[in-house]
Amino acid sequence: MAFSVYVTRAIPEAGIEAMRKVGLDVDVSPHDRVLTKKELLRELKKKPYDALVSLLTDTIDADILDAIPNVKIIANYAVGFNNIAIDEAKKRKIVVTNTPDVLSHTVAEHTMALIFSIAHRIVEGDRLMRSGTFPGWEPMMLLGTDLHQKTIGVLGLGRIGSRVLYQAMRGFDMKGIYYDIKRNEEIEKELGVIFKATPEEVLREADVVSLHVPLLPSTKHLINSERLSMMKPSAYLVNTSRGPVIDEKALVRALKDGVIKGAALDVFEEEPKLAPGLARLSNVILTPHIASATEETRNRMAEMVAENVIAISQGKMAPNIAQ
Ligand code: GLV
Ligand code: GLV
């Protein structure tokens, strides 16, 4: 019997084709939406699937894992894999893979776009133009904030965080500081970025704080009201990592009270919902979890998912074990 794969929602065809081309039996969910747990369990009972391709919107918990005793690999179409009970998967000897690296430049570009848009008030300006109330040039209209020579502070110096620093420091003449549980002296030397021993030091000194940590129990609400109050009142907070890293209700209060100047967010604590009041604030920019959503990157992510599944189907090591 052919090695069978269940894909929880249509991903770019490049990935599906690559798996079918080598003879894998690929079923894609017929619904182009997130499946409920009940629906997913029902779908997974249709065949003794050998592989599962999941999305970051699928919660793969112990119940799901118990329903797929034949599955050897769960290939997550995302760099983050906080949606998968990874220890439970390990216990069952299921390989979990993700899609690192290929999206780092893209997510970093989106992060820079958010930083520029909030500092230069691009979205507010766009809104004003569309409202038909542009009075003509004014000396003091929509004054923004310069970024060159300001300090960007990165929390989480992985591939994405490093790339953001590279773009901000090399491209836009910003100064860089970072905190990570692991110090990276190579990047410090290459970019001249300065390591801070605690996240608090980064929060106190940075003009722009950008979050690039994975979502773990230790990073949930890393940014809470206490830490927000350590930031400069002139500072911006940017998040393209995972929503729950910020206490979103506390952020709404901080933005309302002028504790910080603004925020630009691509991810939210309870997607697709927003914390009450967030959407009414003018000092915030919101994008719908699209930081990796370019054609090139999403195609490459789909191909990567396929490479991992194909490797396991051929008894080889998967190239992108989630870690
Ligand atoms: C997107 O959020 C990802 O983890 O790939
Ligand atoms: C993601 O790839 C990261 O390491 O930041």
In whole angstroms, what is the distance from residue 252 CA to residue 284 CA? 9
Is residue 271 annotated as a catalytic residue, yes or no?
yes
Atom 1 of ligand 1, nearest CA residue: 78
Topology annotation, domain 104-286: Rossmann fold (3.40.50)
- The minimum-distance atom of ligand 2 relative to the CA of 100 is 2
Ligand 2 centroid–CA 161 distance in Å is 7
Is residue 242 annotated as a catalytic residue, yes or no?
yes
Among the bound ligands, the one closest to the CA of 82? 1
Cβ(241) to ligand 2 under 6 A?
Answer: no
Phi-psi region of 289 (alpha: psi -120 to 50; beta: other; left: phi over 0): left
Here the tokens at position 210 are: 């950008």
Among the bound ligands, the one closest to the CA of 161? 2
Q: Is residue 95 within a helix (H) or strand (E), and if so which, with residue range?
A: strand 95-97
> Under a CB-based contact definition with an 8 Å cutoff, are residues 1 and 22 in contact?
no
In whole angstroms, what is the distance from residue 30 CA to residue 123 CA? 37
Contacts of 38 (CB under 8 A, 6+ apart): none
Beta bridge partners of 96: 74
Query: Domain ranges in the chain?
Result: 4-102+295-313, 104-286
Half-sphere exposure of 248 (CA within 13 A, CB side): 22
Cβ(79) to ligand 2 under 6 A?
Answer: yes
- The minimum-distance atom of ligand 2 relative to the CA of 103 is 2
Cβ(79) to ligand 1 under 6 A?
Answer: yes
In order along its 323 residues, the chain shows pLDDT tens digits of 899 999 999 999 999 999 999 999 999 999 999 999 999 999 999 999 999 999 999 999 999 999 999 999 999 999 999 999 999 999 999 999 999 999 999 999 999 999 999 999 999 999 999 999 999 999 999 999 999 999 999 999 999 999 999 999 999 999 999 999 999 999 999 999 999 999 999 999 999 999 999 999 999 999 999 999 999 999 999 999 999 999 999 999 999 999 999 999 999 999 999 999 999 999 999 999 999 999 999 999 999 999 999 999 999 999 999 98
Cβ(100) to ligand 2 under 6 A?
Answer: yes
Res 323: pLDDT: 83
Ligand 2 centroid–CA 101 distance in Å is 7
pTM of the model: 0.96
Name the residue with tokens 């690999």.
73
The sign of the dihedral angle between the CA atoms of 52, 269, 175, 148 is positive
Ligand 1 centroid–CA 269 distance in Å is 14
Cβ(291) to ligand 2 under 6 A?
Answer: no
Cβ(80) to ligand 2 under 6 A?
Answer: no
Domains 4-102+295-313 and 104-286 share a fold: yes
Q: Is 295 exposed, middle or buried (0-12, 13-18, 19+ CB in 10 A)?
A: exposed
Topology annotation, domain 4-102+295-313: Rossmann fold (3.40.50)
190 vs 112, 185, 209, CA distance in Å? 20, 8, 21
64 vs 37, 60, 96, 179, CA distance in Å? 8, 6, 14, 36
Residue of 97, 181, 212 to mutate, ligand 2, most atoms within 8 A of C-beta: 212
Here the tokens at position 34 are: 């997130």
194 vs 148, 153, 268, 273, CA distance in Å? 17, 9, 29, 36
Cβ(251) to ligand 1 under 6 A?
Answer: no
Q: Is the peptide bond before 272 cis (omega within 30 degrees of 0)?
A: yes
> Rounded to 5 degrees, what are φ and ψ at 151?
-105, 125
Ligand 1 centroid–CA 80 distance in Å is 5
Beta bridge partners of 36: none
In whole angstroms, what is the distance from residue 105 CA to residue 20 CA? 29
